[in-house]
Amino acid sequence: MKVYVLSDALGETAEFVVRAAASQFLDTEMEIVRMPYINDRQYIRKIVADASEQRCIFAYTLVVDELRHEMVAAAAEYGVPTIDIMGPVLETMSQVANETPLKQAGLLRKLDEEYFRKVEAVEFAVKYDDGKDPRGITNAEIVLIGVSRTSKTPVCMYLAHKGIKAANVPLVPEVGVPEELFMLTPGRIVGLTINPNFLNEIRVERLKTLGLTADADYASFRRILMELEYAEDIMRRVGCPVIDVSNRAVEETASKVLEIYYRRERHGN
């Protein structure tokens, strides 16, 4: 016996259900034929007509109305038994949710692709955080640069959850800047700056949480002004847009970065 599995998408769901059901029959040999990406009514009719001479069943997950109606009509005309795997589920969900389903093929696959893109972006942000590996600069969709405590890492993680691969590079006068940074188009780099007074408060609190004294050079006003001047020079040389993160939540900063990113995407820079 043949079981034809028809779908207007990949058909994996329908095939899995059919194989699970077929495993319950030990004495009947079943050949399962998956036919994905069905999008033509006449093709459905031809498949049913050709198969009607043999012992077969048609199982289908056709969410597009005209394709499902054609399947039902052709099966009735040629006397072929069918199993609508998706239809009853959609109908019941629609009644309970009081909402009409989209009836678009392949949405689950699109959702899966979006999910895995986010996972990949998160892994990327972790791997290339804080300038750990210069390769992250050339492979990133967005590179954030700025002095310490300008929210580079949390903003990168926020962007990653939007599916955007973001890396960040700390700007430290004694360390220098990777050459890869100057190879990028300015549209892929965003500078983060901050008010020196505000940064001083943040760094003092940071030192306290680490159990260190607030008079460390890291939080000194002289040091902060030197770092910000150095960072400003790098951003000017790179020619990137700059966002002031003073008194901004991570979400606000990320939103500004996204504006720059999508504007760049629209203009192809």
Closest CA to 151 of 178, 165, 170: 170
Per-residue confidence band for 92, with pLDDT thresholds at 50, 70 and 90: confident
Predicted confidence at residue 77, as pLDDT, reads 94
Q: What percent of the chain has pLDDT over 90?
A: 60
The pTM for the full model equals 0.62
Per-residue confidence band for 96, with pLDDT thresholds at 50, 70 and 90: confident
Q: What confidence tens digit (pLDDT) does each residue in 196-233 have?
A: 999 999 999 989 888 887 778 899 999 999 999 999 99
**CA 12 to chain CA centroid, nearest Å:** 22
Rounded mean pLDDT of 170-191?
92
Q: What confidence tens digit (pLDDT) does each residue in 36-59 have?
A: 888 889 999 999 999 998 999 999
Burial of 141 (0-12, 13-18, 19+ CB in 10 A): middle
Here the tokens at position 131 are 């300038």
Predicted confidence at residue 42, as pLDDT, reads 92
Contact 142, 163 (CB under 8 A): no
**pLDDT at 239 > cutoff 60:** yes
Quote the CA–CA distance of 52 and 79 in Å, as a whole number. 7
Contact 217, 223 (CB under 8 A): yes
Rounded mean pLDDT of 19-41?
90
Q: What confidence tens digit (pLDDT) does each residue in 127-164 have?
A: 999 988 888 899 999 999 999 999 999 999 999 999 99
Predicted confidence at residue 106, as pLDDT, reads 59
Per-residue confidence band for 111, with pLDDT thresholds at 50, 70 and 90: low
Domains of the chain: 2-105 (3.40.50), 110-267 (3.40.50)
